[in-house]
Amino acid sequence: MKIKSIVIVISLLLFSGCAYKTYKEGLFPDKRKAFLYFPENIKNVLISIDGGELFEIKPGKNNQYQVKPGKHEIKIYKNNELIMKKNMNLKDGDIMEIEL
């Protein structure tokens, strides 16, 4: 009888833990991610994403920049001149190369 009670309690704890994890994931939709990267031939440029501060990028697929899924405006500057403006809509899990 005692072993049966222990097995029931452990089973309930395991099943309630699985249900909690699924429910908890639904509460935090901001964990969605998308990524941008720039090809190797882009050098000495500054990037602005959604009107944010300009920054120098590291080119290549191994240097990805995380953004939230949704609409984004990418501006690329070289010698303080805007050389490209691109609007894009990224979905959760997208990995997008920004080409010139």
Name the CA radius of gyration of the chain, rounded: 23
Average pLDDT over residues 56-82: 91
Average pLDDT over residues 65-93: 93
Q: Where are the domains of the chain?
A: 1-30, 32-97
Distance CA 95, CA 35 (A): 5
Could you please state the CATH topology (level 3) that the domain comprising 32-97 is classified under. Answer: Immunoglobulin-like (2.60.40)
Q: How do beta strands 55-56 and 34-37 pair?
A: unpaired
Above 70 in pLDDT, residue 93? Answer: yes
In sequence order, what are the residues at sequence separation of 6 or more whose Cβ sits closer than 8 angstroms to the Cβ of residue 100?
39, 41, 42, 76, 83, 84
Q: Give the highest mean pLDDT range of 5-14, 26-35, 87-96.
A: 87-96
Which band of pLDDT confidence, cut at 50, 70 and 90, is reported for residue 42? confident
**Residues of the chain above pLDDT 70, percent:** 76
Regarding pTM above 0.75, the answer is no
